[in-house]
A = this chain, B = another copy of it.
Amino acid sequence: MEFKYYMPVKIFFGEKCIEKNGSGFSMPGKKAFIVTGKSSAEKNGSLNDVKKTLNSINIPFVHYNRIEPNPSVEDVRAASVFMKESGADFIIGIGGGSPLDAAKAIAILAVNDIDDDTLFGGIYRNRPLPVIAIPTTAGTGSEVTPYSILAFKKISNKKSVGCDAIFPYAAFLDPLYTATLSAATTINTAVDALSHAIEGYLSARGTEVIKPYAMESIRIIGRCIPELKNSAIRNEVRENLLYASMLAGIVIAHTGTTVLHAMGYPLTYHRDIDHGRANGLLMYHYLKFIEPSTEKVKHIVDAAGMKNTDEFGETIDRLLGEKETISESEITGFTRTAMTSKNIAYTSPRPGEKDIRRIYEDSFRR
């Protein structure tokens, strides 16, 4: 047995956790730069809760609400200019994966004048500013990971910044903030969390210490799946999904993701397919590819409460509904792109170009 474990984020979980803990909490700076998307943080109540708490402890803040889904390097550079001008010395990211990942990149760029390759390199002269992460979807896990995923024009794909210095300082997870999510977003983000737990468990970098959390996450999401198509999702289910998503985040914080994420990124970058959905569309045939090599796929299927991999795959496919059409030439391009990802090396067994092409083809066969 050999592993490293590092999870320095102070995590607060539960309804009203900002109100209950925020004011007694040592903020990591004197002025906050709040990073959100356009409007959801207002709609779900999280922004208001943060402002109220900051006001109660006399921490001034500025609010930057221009983070678009799948933020690009250019987007976070623009935001970091605002941040520098604001005089803020820590960041509060509120939202789905996009604002949280953006917050981490802004934290680097606000104190490091660096080119794109250095940004993705993960080593910085000045320590990134502290980030407080407040997820409002249950999927990204970004609140507990040292990753920031950015759209990167130079390679026409999404690419990951990863370094321990961008682990959030703290995370506040209030399931009530996920109550206003649409059915589609709830499903897509749940499938994203599931893919984190599954990929972490199957990863060549998977270790003993992440197994209990990966399994628990899969078990919980498996129990929630039948409820995801309901018109109104119960609070208890929302809570379980947010918890499972956090556990899966702890998992990938240690393992990273694998070929499934590498294959999903081009679908999002070029076809604008939601990130969680993109992984979900490929999940069945990813598992079929891994299955002959390891008992672990059986553990996953068992934990999810399914009879076998086929039932598992068909359940995910049904959950996601009608699939997009992907052309042969797109598959050729996406396969080449996926092959360049470092996540391929973390996949066990390591897939070749033919394997990746086949997973795309089998996933989008009509």
Contacts and interface: CB of A to CB of B under 8 A. Distances in A.
A143 to B, nearest CB: 11
B15 A4 contact: no
A2 interface: yes
Interface in A13-69: 13-15, 17, 21
Interface string A191-217: 000000000000000001101110110
A10 B4 contact: yes
A101 interface: no
A107 to B, nearest CB: 18
B212 A212 contact: yes
A7 B4 contact: no
B13 A5 contact: yes
Given A212-B213, A212-B216, A216-B212, A11 B15 contact: no
Contacts of A15: 2
The bracket for how many chain A residues form the interface is 20 to 34
A284 B330 CA distance: 64
A12 interface: yes
Interface in A211-230: 211-213, 215-216
A17 to B, nearest CB: 7
A232 interface: no
A1 interface: yes
A175 B15 CA distance: 41
Contacts of A240: 1
B4 A13 contact: yes
Nearest to A12: B4
A325 B165 CA distance: 55
B208 A243 contact: yes
A10 B17 contact: no
Nearest to A11: B5
A363 to B, nearest CB: 31
A125 B289 CA distance: 57
Given A212-B215, A212-B216, A243-B208, A3 B7 contact: no
Nearest to A2: B14
A287 B116 CA distance: 59
A13 B210 CA distance: 13
Nearest to A14: B2
A274 interface: no
Interface string A226-259: 0000000000000110010001000000000000
Interface in A161-193: 175
Given A212-B215, A215-B212, A243-B208, A11 B2 contact: no
A3 B8 contact: no
Contacts of A208: 243
Interface in A237-293: 239-240, 243, 247
A301 to B, nearest CB: 19
B3 A14 contact: yes
Contact of A1 (B9, B211, B243): B243
A132 to B, nearest CB: 14
A7 B8 CA distance: 6
Contacts of A3: 11, 13-14
9 contacts: A1-B13, A1-B239, A3-B14, A4-B13, A6-B9, A6-B10, A6-B11, A13-B209, A212-B212
Q: Which 3 A/B pairs are nearest by Cβ-Cβ distance?
A: A2-B14, A212-B212, A5-B11
